[in-house]
Structure 1
């Protein structure tokens, strides 16, 4: 197995590599912008460090969002193109799932992404089973979490600080854990994890004729 993981959904450009019998390689650079130009050389350097050719990759896991609109598209497009070129299998992994994996909490866990404009994206894990992600106004989130998770549990994600739930412990977990991404990408069922961007809401930009990008 040779698994490459990619995350360009935030301000960092991050890649990780898992090769059977070798320690994981993980790198995250806070570049802000320019993921499209930065990603390919970053991956090439990591493959060289591991003594691996791109053609030897067997699976590519890519973060799909929610996150930066442009960044999500960059990572997904690159992963799909590299998979096509190498014959590797590409799978998409959601950001909220990676945060939940990194939290390692067996009890109720609500993961929230700050979607701006007074909204958050919420996904709740109970007993290892996740709800569907949903976009909600901040004012409605606390009641929805109690409905899905009960009266006590844990919170994670960039939107956790926006709500007041005294019986829920904020884990202050907001950054992507690359080993957790590798774990989920390795275990993912490709049929259930297509490499497609996940957006908080439809893009504001429109192509000629009113089409969305």
Structure 2
């Protein structure tokens, strides 16, 4: 699979490393341009490349992992992403300084808002409930696998994400739609920052 990232911070890098370890190609992008990613790409090896956001968004699966206020800028100009599976790993922090502030989206969940900005995309919420230090290492432990909650409105897209993350070693748990499952996972929800293991 060819996996693109919108954003190249710690979450995108952690997912990229899992993907590359399992033989997938990764195309990273950020707001500063491909040249700024040259050292990272070199460290990731021959399965990694840097590109523009539009080029990264042409991959088989796209990971959205940028700070919440930068989402509109990150997806602007991508055009329709008809059928593309987009993993939304964001959390709706309107601000982190001086104190964390959660964006008020009214009745929308965070991923419903993201989906509204990415017409045609099949959005799956995932990775947002885990701190980076639980994503980066091998998710398989002696006592079980790291649980990965996910939600989405497209069953096939969720199956794609479940298969991929199971390959990485996670134990994916489908919570339903972006509305119902997404509400459980987003900031303030009962599963936000919940780190649990599933015994096999």
Same fold (TM over 0.5): no
Higher relative contact order (CA 8 A, sep 6+): 1
Q: TM-score range by the shorter chain?
A: 0.3 to 0.5
Structure number, greater radius of gyration? 1
Name the TM-score, length of structure 1 as normaliser: 0.34
Name the TM-score, length of structure 2 as normaliser: 0.36
